[in-house]
Amino acid sequence: MRWPRSPFLLQFVEIVLVADLSEYAVHRLFHTVPFLWRFHAVHHSSEAMDWLAASRIHLVDAVVTRALAFVPLYVLGFSTGPVYAYLVFVSFHAIFVHANVRFRFGALEPILERRSFTTGITRRRRWTRTSRSTCR
């Protein structure tokens, strides 16, 4: 069944919500299931917190996370345009939240930091992130 098409911006917001909830659930599994943690630990093994840390990820982690995030988007029938816009947005967002920058967003900061729950990191927690295998 195809749902009636929502406007582009509304679909984009819906996609952010659906994909983030899916990615959050998968991310929690990677942190709590020992077998999955072995794959996700690659991401946490960066010696320095910089923009490349967002790309340091095991293939299994990437495939499982993306697949389980995009299945609901496909099933719900979102248009390709807003999905592609989300891909661009989430790519830049991942680089930004992993970069060691001191850029502030003022009143929007609490919202944007909550948006980073899929990466498991906020500006206040950046300095605590380590390469230790106990970082679960």
- 89: amino acid identity, one letter: F
pTM (two decimals) = 0.67
Give the dihedral sign, CA 80/63/127/21: positive
Q: What is the pLDDT along the chain (136 residues), one digit of tens a residue?
A: 455 578 999 999 999 999 989 988 988 888 988 998 888 888 777 776 666 666 677 888 888 888 888 999 999 999 999 999 999 998 887 777 666 667 777 787 776 665 444 444 444 344 334 444 445 5
Q: 47 and 130 in contact (C-beta within 8 Å)?
A: no
What is residue 131's predicted lDDT score, i.e. its pLDDT? 40
Domain regions of the chain by residue span:
8-128
What is residue 63's predicted lDDT score, i.e. its pLDDT? 86
